Amino acid sequence: MNDDIKFFDAPDGRKIGWKRLAPGDFMDLMDAVAEPNKTAMGSLGMGSTVASVRSINGVPEPFPRSKSELKALADRLGWDTIQALSAAMGDETAEKVAADAKNSPAPQDSGTP
């Protein structure tokens, strides 16, 4: 759904469309980049940021289905854009958590310690 795509202005001026990965997409990403019997959590974290990119300057980016496709997309984005996008995604998550907390009823104090 295009409604789920958010846009981010990269430090180099490109407009990046991104969408948070669905659980199934994250599992596909793990299959694409994971080496047998190894878990590279740092790579998966950065990989999930890179794989969240859906467009660059309005040009659609397909979901990377292999490690080489993921690396090629990361290289096209560059370090500055990946780091700034990661921060923007974190800011979006923090804003959502704060909004959800504000809109949810506060727990009632039962008066017992």
**pLDDT, tens digit, for every residue of 17-73?**
999 888 888 888 887 776 654 555 556 778 889 999 999 999 999 999 888 899 999
Q: Which two tokens stand for residue 21?
A: 């990965």
pLDDT at position 101 is 60
- Give the C-alpha separation, 46 to 41, whole Å: 9
Those residues whose C-beta lies under 8 Å from the C-beta of residue 54, and which sit 6 or more positions away, are 5, 17, 18, 19, 60, 61
Q: What are the extents of the domains in the chain?
A: 2-99
Cα Rg, the chain, nearest whole Å: 17
Q: How far apart are the first and last CA of the chain?
A: 48
Reported pTM = 0.70
